Amino acid sequence: MSEEQLDAINDYFYERGWTDGLPIVPPTGERVAAMLEGMPRRDPDELIGVIPPKMGRATLRQVAVNAVMAGCKPEYLPVVVAALQAVSEPDYGLDHRQTTTHAGAPLIIVNGPIAKSLRINCGTGLFGPGWRANATIGRALRLVLVNIGGAGPGVDCSQAGHPGKYTFCIAEYEEANPWEPLHVERGYRRDQSTVTVVNAEAPHSMTENIRTDPGEIVRTFASSMSGLGVNNLYSQGHPVLVLGIEHARYLAAAGWSKRDVKVALFERARQPWGLVKDRGKSKGPFFPEWVDRSDDTAMVPIVGAADDLIVIVGGGAGGKSMFLPTAGAQSLSVTRLIV
């Protein structure tokens, strides 16, 4: 294929709204057939999901087309398929996530042996560039949501968006996790591979380079995670804490379990109702029933229960952890087995 042909194909796709704005790999018949070899025992015409708002039928073949366009290798296809199945679950609420004004995107968290075999980055720069698997798996899911679901410009009403709408895929750093990884916490075996999808905002860095006491680390986190503008303060849901490996080590060395971290943040990442009411999304229907809205001193949490907070370990050296707010209780996390 000549440079002129490649340019013409990319211009053609761009003009029809079939891309994310970046150049694509032309999905020739040969490339799509090679991509389908990533799942050779599955019927290419198998329906993977019906994608809103256009209610497009995402067959395995159509998913493979978009995976080719994104630059995936065939061995990435099972991860893309599992992620698409996960966002299609009712708990995720894809119909409203595709058209909302909220700045959310489907974060894909990969757990299990497949993360290492595919070299999905879990360490230094895990949310950044440089890793083909991270970049193209997340991008493939986005292209499916645009090309099959119809959520391109003019339909996706996200007021500001964020870079995760290009691609948003990481792995958990299980070897650096002093506790059970996310998929084991959710009932899977360590030797199984899963994706967890969360409609998340962009990561917010929380720096604690001085304090090593667990209570003080949690104090820093709680302040950052419960700001008055964060959606989770008004409608809870499943926000994500990506603990840096140093913070995780300090917490574990002091005898804290992962659940201890969750409970501490459930209890401390709060704001008084007197500040929360009449601002943000305080007119929404998702506040816990036990928050007494006749009492301005009643404390409003960012999650409805401690176990609703997703805690994983990732990143490189340094005193930073990441907080990813979510849309709230109207869009919950979903975990699916990769098969």
Query: What is the structure's pLDDT at 325?
Result: 98
302 burial level (CB within 10 Å; 0-12, 13-18, 19+): buried
Low-confidence ranges of the chain (pLDDT < 70): 284-285
| Contact in structure between 236 and 301 (CB atoms under 8 Å) | yes
Query: What is the structure's pLDDT at 152?
Result: 87
pLDDT tens sequence across 218-266: 999 999 999 999 999 999 999 999 999 999 999 999 999 999 999 999 9
Query: What is the structure's pLDDT at 168?
Result: 98
Q: Look at the block and give the residue holding tokens 């002091």.
A: 254
Query: What is the structure's pLDDT at 287?
Result: 78
Question: Structure pTM?
Answer: 0.97
Query: What is the structure's pLDDT at 289?
Result: 86
For the stretch 93-116, what's the b/e string if a residue is b when 16 or more beta carbons lie within 10 angstroms of its beta carbon? bbeebbbbebbbbbbbbbbbebbe
| Contact in structure between 190 and 262 (CB atoms under 8 Å) | no
Q: Which of 335, 334, 332, 310 is nearest to 321 (CA)?
A: 310
Strand 310-313 relative to strand 240-243: parallel, antiparallel, unpaired? parallel
Query: What is the structure's pLDDT at 285?
Result: 62
